[in-house]
Amino acid sequence: MSDLRMVEGYNYDEFVPEKFEPGMKFEESPPLGKPAPDFSLWDLEGRETRFSAIWSVHTYTTVEFGSFT
């Protein structure tokens, strides 16, 4: 899938099953106890950081994924 199609598919424009269901793959998510995948993330000012830079600060880090609803 091209980058543009990936962006459009991920940011679907309407909440219909054929658009939101393909992205929901919790059963394929990383296992517990193994190294977590690391990614770039950005703060609210647009400064880039790494997921690993966040979780390495505290003994444990809770991460809630979400949006407005």
Partner 1 sequence: MNQIAERWAPHGVGSIFLYTHEAHPGEYWPHHTSFDQKLQHARALRDVLGVTRPILVDALDGACHRAYGGMPNMTWIINQSGAPVYKSDWTDAHSVENAIQYFVAAVDRRRAGETLAPFNVERLDLRNVDREAFYKGLERNGPKAVREFRAAFG
Q: Interface with partner 1 by CB under 8 A: which residues?
A: 3, 6-7, 10-17, 20, 23-44, 46, 49, 51-52, 54-69
As measured in angstroms, the least distance from the Cβ of 43 to partner 1 is 6
The residue behind tokens 């598919």 is 9
DSSP 29: S
Closest CA to 54 of 42, 67, 66, 68: 42
As measured in angstroms, the least distance from the Cβ of 23 to partner 1 is 4
As measured in angstroms, the least distance from the Cβ of 58 to partner 1 is 4
Residue 21 token pair? 């269901």
